[in-house]
A and B are shown apart, each in its own frame.
Chain A
């Protein structure tokens, strides 16, 4: 039921129903809205808001010179159609989806190919996918089936969006299976509820919610929708776009060839031969004569071909016992092995010391694996290989490992969820149980999938959307939940998303705690307006771009950031929305804009993530030990370094320092709004960091090229317009010129300035 806009006195200010809702409150408080923002300010606001980049000076001038009444609306349409819109708003969604590309835990290894989920999100925004569909696919992509046909093949492309259910930190290091599963299901339940419904059900994992009417049982009823969900490894999903498919195939082929016979591989092979000889020689030399030979020597001797002391039967039996002891870990097996080895060792010692068998030759059984172990051990004065050899070996192995990773990234494997088979081809699945205090060791009553009682008023089980003949009992669980969430009947879904969209436009939501519409959340400042927006959103078919436009066309949005009315000061948090919220840009917008001003931003879209260089003094810290592979990688193509920030590899344990300083860590829990802190570490990044210095140099160069070498003043003017989308004022030009600062310093100053970092 759509709320009617309230009556207001100053009807002239009302350009959209939104304005009536806002103005009614302002009038009640006796505060006048702020005047309309200056056209220049408005253009810059709109560009950052929709595409995360400032207008070029030409774009700015085109807008300033367009005096038609439709100028502003035309600009909105242009920016909504711009592909960079999807990158900007997709990033907002990735925050909510706690998007990361590594486990966050032991070793922080990559969790699988999730970049295709990232690209799917960007495409969904660009293609204006209706929000109900957007929700449905992320919860239940691939879980749909035909109501009329059996043996219906689910849409395999629908598996990509289910990455939403997989990108959280993944606790693969814990070996207690039941706990891992329980943690996984709880995380998914919590995230789905907070992101799509604005409900914080997480507390109910262990006890009834203390503030909202969410009994513990409801948490598990909700979780039960995911009971058949298999968080398996990756699944093959072909590339939909033929051009991308072709490119992927070519990339895989290229890397595989390099792995097989590239210069690194050749060098490593040659090096291994040399090192093996060195290893064998060194071991022979070091082997002290007369000592008791041990199990390690026995195992080497057993590897020799042909055997010279032992029989083939002895070798086989030894291998079997070794495997048994290793596999079972049983003391009895260990005893058997020990007893057998004791006999063998006696034989070995006799053969080596009295039997005329040259003990030194046992080292000829050393192989590539032994070379690897020796090469990767930390260097010490006693090492057999030189420090240079060790470093080169590690470097070459690292390069090959990266090639292997690249093969994986361009394969068609995607991290997603599927359903377990279930009867008749698989076993029945055990029901979800309420867990006492959330402890997997303390199961209580079993529950059926069901919606929160708070919202439905019912405790009954949900009617699952199964196939017609119920042949696939594990299908249709998630789709049932997804359809209920993505429904016009759901009182929360549309409101939660409308509020999020509002929040990203204004800096604060109508409900300021956008993932918590419960009692602990903030009270909505304009509940009727939120109702109206939600109704409008659904009426237009969950059309996100249309909702943007409705909001952007309002006078509320077009207010200036300063309100001269003295009464507005009594509302420091701007709950009445009597001005636009001036605020610092996010890390991504700052970094992208720096590169944009210097002319070096690479606007290529999509594909595996990229690795902007780490600060030099952090690079060696980024290794996880010597053997654990590299935390950060060189880029495939050098120009990848300057891609937009949304494409930066999201390693949970190693966010890029500049991004982290500006509050963009790699999120492990859903992030519904970024912090906006101001710290000296941010200033250090700008004063001394490589990015700003390099790009400032390029900006200075660009200004000289475009404005001509001759005139310093013209260059300063050009630098201002490139960085701030405006020419300098007369006194600014005078001050900068007279400062005697070199152009590079001037560029640094502009890129570090408050005006650059703030949108208003």
Chain B
């Protein structure tokens, strides 16, 4: 036997196939069926059945929101003490750590748990007893593009599946008249990475996020063309169905053809269901107020949050709500004193309203709400040549919080040092957050896999730790 044949036989041959069978997972097998969005059971029992993920783009300053660092007030305006691995790694845009900026607003303790929260978030401060906080979360890159990808897809580079795609792949969709995974973009523009951060990556396209826009046309091409009546469209669809049925009846192995016929009926129903979803006229004034719709500053994001509730109410599995785009994001390199209060005001009431509304409807028990950004910020100034200081990126200082089904209420896990530069104690890699999120939705990170390019890909890549400290 020459070498080539030997290689071919042994290399492509029988060895290793048993392992393959052992690893073959339920979800990937299920995608081979004609209906990729079929509801699939959880891997283990978990209270949360669906997830709302609110994402603040730009890097939220932790020391101006949820992380209380009194030393910053004390050292305000002084030169930043030399701290390990700040130069070059954290301070990427300024050449050196500079003067310390105190928190923009004072912190106060709130709730039974006594969590310190910035005065910039008075509404969210009233919800702390329903939240679990993770501090010192670390992403693997200190700039927006890769960090956003890392936070939302588990990989710094484009090409991987987003969290929502993974969850929809794992659990299927309960509502067949709406997409299983919906993304609500900021009205001001596309997020960094665009479709890639809610994409299906290597998973089948059925799991990609569907972008909903603010307004009455949430999905591209949802509405019939102007002048087309529902009745006319129905008749047209009937004739299409007749032609497709005739075509199918002359053939065998027709499951794909059947699925495609059904997809037109689904689309037809979606045309009716999606506008109903985005029509807020049935919501009470009190509810609208709860989300801040009565205030021009909080109205846009309040609308997004209210829609998120309506979506999960209708069985949408995963809703991603995006805040911040282009120049209008949480990337406060300069003038943080004037910028961050506005951003906080834009989201404070809406997100708090969402938590309160879900709670009053009994939905917070089986819904998981997650707040994240792609990175934290530095305690020191980044803007050296003007009067208005701002903070640089800090990939080690992200704060994430979760609320709802299965979390331990009012706890905080992880911390950073006194200046909020690096984790103090256990570092929380973002993959641990992902592992915990999946766990809370009844999914096991090691069973939720997809064979791609020779590897069983998973959201957490090399595997994350489920942070049991924040589980009920």
Contact = CB atoms under 8 A, between A and B. Distances in A.
Interface of A: 1, 98, 103-108, 169, 171, 173-176, 183, 187, 194, 200, 202-203, 206, 211-212, 294-296, 322, 325-331, 334, 337, 378, 454-455, 457, 491, 495, 511, 513, 515-521, 523-524, 527, 531, 561-563, 569, 572, 579, 582-584, 615, 617-618, 621-628, 631, 651-655, 657, 660-663, 665, 667-670, 672, 675-685, 687-690, 693, 731-732, 735-736, 739, 741, 745-746, 748-750, 752-755, 757-758, 760
B223 A688 contact: yes
Contacts of B157: 104-105, 169, 171, 183, 187, 668
B159 A562 contact: no
Interface of B: 2-5, 7-9, 11-17, 19-20, 34, 36, 79, 88-89, 92-96, 98-99, 141-146, 149, 156-159, 179, 185, 188-190, 192-196, 199-200, 202, 204-206, 208, 210-211, 213, 215, 217, 219-225, 232-233, 235-237, 239-240, 242-244, 246-248, 251-253, 256-257, 259-261, 263-264, 266-268, 270-271, 325-328, 384-387, 451, 453-456, 462
A251 B34 CA distance: 50
Given A211-B19, A627-B327, A105 B158 contact: yes
Contact of B190 (A520, A622, A676, A679): A622
Contact of A176 (B142, B210, B326): B142
Contact of A331 (B4, B79, B190, B233): B79
Contacts of A212: 11, 454
A515 B453 contact: yes
A211 B17 CA distance: 10
Contacts of A524: 12
B92 A175 contact: yes
B244 to A, nearest CB: 5
A531 B8 contact: yes
Nearest to B257: A754
Given A562-B252, A757-B260, A681 B454 contact: no
A609 B91 CA distance: 39
A628 B261 CA distance: 42
B243 A753 contact: yes
Contact of A748 (B93, B236, B266): B236
A662 B451 CA distance: 21
A732 B243 contact: yes
A666 to B, nearest CB: 9
Contacts of A582: 251, 253, 256
Given A331-B98, A669-B453, 12 more contacts: A105-B193, A106-B144, A169-B157, A175-B92, A175-B142, A211-B19, A523-B13, A680-B264, A684-B271, A735-B242, A739-B239, A752-B264
B385 A1 contact: no
Contacts of B260: 584, 678, 754, 757
Contacts of A105: 145-146, 149, 157-158, 192-193
A174 B143 contact: yes
Contact of A741 (B8, B20, B221, B236): B236
A760 B250 CA distance: 13
Contacts of A748: 236
Nearest to A437: B462
A669 B159 contact: yes
Nearest to B246: A732
Contacts of B213: 617-618, 621
Contacts of B195: 653-655, 660, 665
A625 B324 CA distance: 10
Contacts of A337: 385
A678 B158 contact: no
B31 to A, nearest CB: 9
A624 B251 contact: no
Contacts of B223: 688
A577 to B, nearest CB: 14
Contacts of B88: 176
A495 B248 CA distance: 37
A680 B217 contact: no
A445 to B, nearest CB: 22
Contacts of A517: 11-12
Contact of B253 (A107, A169, A562): A562
Contacts of B179: 681
Contacts of B261: 754
A413 B98 CA distance: 41
A749 B206 contact: no
A669 B20 CA distance: 23
Given A104-B196, A684-B222, A679 B205 contact: yes
Given A653-B193, A754-B261, A624 B326 contact: yes
Given A211-B16, A663-B205, A683-B266, A755 B247 contact: yes
Given A520-B454, A621-B213, A173 B146 contact: yes
A337 B384 CA distance: 10
Question: Which 5 interchain pairs have the tightest Cβ spacing?
Answer: A625-B326, A653-B194, A200-B454, A105-B145, A329-B95
Nearest to A321: B385
Contact of B36 (A171, A651, A677): A677
B217 A653 contact: no
A148 to B, nearest CB: 32
A680 B221 CA distance: 11
6 contacts: A171-B156, A328-B96, A491-B4, A668-B196, A739-B235, A754-B260
Contacts of A515: 453-454
A606 to B, nearest CB: 27
Nearest to A744: B236
